[in-house]
Structures are given as structure tokens and as C-alpha cells.
Structure 1
Amino acid sequence: MKDLKVEAIIRLVRFVMQNNYFKYNGQYYHQIRGGAMGSPLTMTVANCYMFFYTRDIVRQIDNSGGLYLCYINDLFIIINWPVRHFMQQIDRWNKFDENIKLSVNISPYADFLDVHIENKDGQLFTTVYYKPSYEPYYLPFNSIHPMHMKKNIPFTILLRAIRYCSIFQAYLDEREKLRMALLLN
């Protein structure tokens, strides 16, 4: 790989992206737009594209003293701009690429990935966030999975609660929910 020129890598990536085929109901299809879901190459290309897409956005946020976080295609921005100005910026950013649309949630709380973040009278509070489709089911203890996997589940979900709950009472509430969920499995 070290001897490959950038142009060769770009040509190889383009070849793979333009030659995606899949089979559905016994019929073969040629994907003409986008990339194969879950493909390591598609994810890499998407991450590279988003890096360049968000460069100007990140620069503006940083220059204004705001906070910009990104995980794959989820963005989280905190900035002290007037709402009207922020909405104009979102409209402008949404014109960078018609296939990418930024949505806005202006409120004292937000859910980013699996963290609920809330501003209560100038204090920032965080807890674990569960999507509406969440079901409290974990790997049943009597499954045939290796014991280390079964033992790791309580450790991992409690560690997440410790990391995400900014106040002790929120942690205790979360721990009780997890205890009940694990007992029901």
C-alpha cells in the first residue's frame, strides 16, 4: 500500500463504489448511487466525505467559542448564537450538499447517541438516554454464550450508567432500572 499513489487509490475506490451489485428475490441489481450498507469501504468513504463536508462548520463553531461533537453522522453543536442567526447558518450549511440535511433541536435538553443532556438553570445534567424503540432485554443468562460474555453485560451497562449520570440520584435510578431489567432476563 505504501507504494500506491493517491490517484491509484482514488481510481480503485471509484471502481468499487461504481460496481456495487446485490441480489434481491433472485434478481440482481446494480447500485447506481451510494455504497453498500455496512461495507468497510463505504464507511471509510462516508467518514472522509463528512470530514470535508463539516470542515467549515467546525471552523465557524470553534471561532465562535462553541462546542462541536461528531460520531459518524451524528453531530452535536452547542453555541451561543441568536436563534435567527443559527437557523440561517443551518440553512446555509444544508445547501452544501442536497443529500445531507442537518436537523435542529433548540431546547434546554438534547439526546445525543445514548446520552440525555439537559440544562437546568445553567447547570448541565446528563443521564442515560434510551430510544423509544428500546426494549430492556439482554442476553439470557441460560443461553449457550460463553460465561465471560454473560458476566460482561452487567459490568458494561453499570459502567455506562456511572459515566453518563452526572448526579448520584440519577445513577441510583438508572441502576435500579438495570437491576430490574437483568432480573427479568
Structure 2
Amino acid sequence: MLRACTKEAPFRCPSSKTYFHVNGAAMGNPLGVLFAQAYICHIENSVLSSINPSPKMYLRYVDDIFVDVEDEQLDPLKKALEENSCLRFTIEKSVENKITFLDVWVDGSGGNFTTDVYRKPSDSGRCLNGMSECPSKYKTSVVRACITRVFKICSN
């Protein structure tokens, strides 16, 4: 069953021609997330158990990693993750102990981490026109999601 779900998975392009995905799980396949999670966990278990000293903080969401280590530990950690996998990692270092992670602005300059909502410069601030003919439950849901996001992300 697993082989049938991941090998030669058919998909149709906009021109109605059918193709077969022949290598790995197709993009959008729910199994892809499961495989990626299992693979990354396996890599982390082997690498993080051998790193000394271990990171003060290591958080991951899918393929985005937030790690709190000394500057001289960052490159060896990246190298170890790459050597134990077929993946390539990029590094974004904090500037004045401030960095973004996903949609969170993290500020570690005061000795403790404080967080706030982060919006990319390209964010126009638009999400749903309140005057649209969209059902009101969707409009309410957008407002609730924004408020919930603020309460979950902001530390102050």
C-alpha cells in the first residue's frame, strides 16, 4: 500500500495531460509530511545526542529550525545536520539578538526572550474584504484568528 501511494502517483496538469510522479512522495501528498517528520526526527536524534554542549534551545516546525547556541557552535551543528542527511541547511543569524521565526519576532536582547507578531515587508495587511459576499462566519473567523494569533504569539 505504501509503495502504491508513493510510486508512480498520477497527476493531471492544467493542459489535461497525465503525468506520473516517480520519485518519492508527491507534493501535497499527506504521506509526504509524515515521511519528512520521521526523517528529520531521525537526523535530530543522532546529531543532537552527539553535540556537546547541546543547544540551549532547539525548536523546529516542519523544516524551519530555531536554535539558541553560541556563534562558534552554529557552523558545526549545521555541518553535522548536513553530513547525517541529504539535506542542505541555510543559516540566518540574529542581529542585535533579534530574529524572525515563522511569523514571530523574537527579541533576546534583554536576557529573556520576548515575542511579537511579525509581518513580512510584502504583507499588504489585507485578508478578507468585510463587504464581500462571503458568509459572515468566515469574516468572524478571520477576526478571531488574528486576535488568537496576537494572544498566542505576543509575550507582553
Query: TM-score scaled by structure 1?
Result: 0.70
Aligned equivalent of 2:22, options 14, 28, 32: 32
Shift of 1:63: 6.3
Report the CA distance shift for 1:103/1:65 in structure 2 as closer, same or farther (over 3 A).
closer
Higher helix proportion: 1
Please name the residue that 2:72 is paired with: 84
Please name the residue that 1:106 is paired with: 93
Equivalent AA in structure 2 for residue 106 of structure 1: K
Please name the residue that 1:22 is paired with: 11
Q: Which has the larger radius of gyration?
A: 1
Shift of 1:114: 0.9
Give the secondary structure class of the aligned counterpart of 1:69: strand
Equivalent AA in structure 2 for residue 102 of structure 1: F
In the TM superposition, structure 1's runs of 4+ consecutive aligned residues that sit over 6 Å from their partners are: none
* Percent of aligned pairs sharing the same letter: 24
The question of 1:150 aligning with 2:139 is answered yes
Equivalent AA in structure 2 for residue 34 of structure 1: G
Give the secondary structure class of the aligned counterpart of 1:120: coil
Equivalent AA in structure 2 for residue 91 of structure 1: K
- Listed as ranges, the matches of 1:1-185 within 5 Å are 12-24=1-13, 25-59=15-49, 64=54, 66-79=56-69, 81=70, 83-98=71-86, 100-107=87-94, 108-167=97-156
Structure 2: runs of 5+ lacking an equivalent: none
Shift of 1:116: 0.8
Alpha carbons 2:105, 2:117 under 8 Å: kept = yes
Shift of 1:16: 1.8
Residue deviations 1:79-136 (CA, integer Å, cap 9, x gap): 2x3x2332122112112223x2222122212211110101224242211111343221
Shift of 1:53: 2.3
Once the two structures are overlaid, the 10-residue window that deviates more, 50-59 or 111-120, is 50-59
Residue deviations 1:114-159 (CA, integer Å, cap 9, x gap): 1010122424221111134322112212223322221232232122
Give the secondary structure class of the aligned counterpart of 2:2: helix
Alpha carbons 2:43, 2:81 under 8 Å: kept = no
Alpha carbons 1:62, 1:68 under 8 Å: kept = no
Residue deviations 1:156-179 (CA, integer Å, cap 9, x gap): 212222332233xxxxxxxxxxxx
Shift of 1:60: 5.0
